[in-house]
């Protein structure tokens, strides 16, 4: 099964594809702005036409716009809710019928430790990540006895560009998060359906 990467065209997207290919993985990048429902729908159709039902869907894209509540613009609020919460709903919706028909598949929602606590200047981000856990929990109930599962991973301070300016030191590496995703995507028993995996770091 090839790896399909959906996202806005960028050097980061191409770097990810290059790294995966270096590991022997067949990779296709599909241009998709996750703020745009029409582009998500089109990308979903492309994946299904070319590759069929995915075995694993990882909803990983996220944005954060830091500002106090009184200074947070409606545009920044809407962007974060669109990318961090609406997009996972739309990508899940795009692939779920084919996964149900196949009778197998795993849907991994990448939330955040911000779904368990409040952080100054991150109200929209936190709201979106709390919402993503709630969405996953309801989806898990709908997936009972289907052969599918969904879980939410809640990483804390990961050493990435997104952490810059947060005031928090990194407590884990991207590789540690990636290995956790791989476990739930490939090896974890289906009994983990509905699970929330908190990663506070060390």
* pLDDT tens-digit series, residues 27-52: 999 999 999 999 999 999 999 999 99
Beta bridge partners of 30: 6
Domains of the chain in sequence order: 56-199 (3.40.50.720)
159's CB contacts (< 8 A; 6+ apart) are 170, 172, 173, 174
CB half-sphere exposure, 46, CA atoms < 13 A: 15
pLDDT score of 166 more than 90: no
Residue 85 DSSP class: I
The contacts of residue 153 (CB under 8 Å, 6+ apart) are: 108, 109, 110, 111, 177, 180, 181, 184, 197, 199
Q: Which residue has the tokens 């540690």?
A: 176
pLDDT tens by residue, 83-140: 999 999 999 999 999 999 999 999 999 999 999 999 999 999 999 999 999 999 999 9
Which residues participate in catalysis according to the annotation?
Answer: 125
Instruction: Report phi then psi at 73, rounded to 5.
Output: -80, 155
* CA distance linking residue 52 with residue 29, whole number of Å: 16
């Amino acid at each position: 099964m090839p790896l399909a990467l959906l996202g806005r065209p960028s050097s980061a997207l191409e770097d990810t594809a290059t790294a995966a290919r270096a590991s022997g993985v067949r990779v296709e990048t599909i241009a998709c702005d996750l703020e745009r429902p029409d582009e998500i729908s089109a990308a979903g159709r492309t994946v299904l036409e070319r590759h069929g039902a995915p075995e694993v869907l990882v909803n990983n894209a996220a944005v954060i716009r830091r500002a106090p509540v009184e200074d947070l613009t409606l545009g920044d609020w809407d962007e974060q809710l669109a990318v961090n919460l609406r997009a996972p709903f739309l990508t899940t919706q795009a692939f779920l019928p084919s996964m149900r028909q196949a009778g197998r598949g795993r849907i991994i929602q990448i939330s955040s430790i911000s779904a368990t606590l409040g952080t100054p200047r991150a109200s929209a981000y936190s709201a979106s990540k709390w919402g993503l856990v709630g969405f996953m929990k309801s989806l898990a109930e709908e997936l009972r006895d289907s052969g599918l599962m969904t879980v939410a991973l809640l990483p804390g301070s990961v050493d990435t560009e997104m952490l810059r300016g947060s005031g928090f030191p990194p407590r884990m590496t991207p590789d540690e998060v990636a290995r956790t995703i791989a476990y739930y995507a490939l090896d974890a028993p289906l009994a983990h359906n509905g699970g929330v995996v908190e990663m506070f770091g060390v």
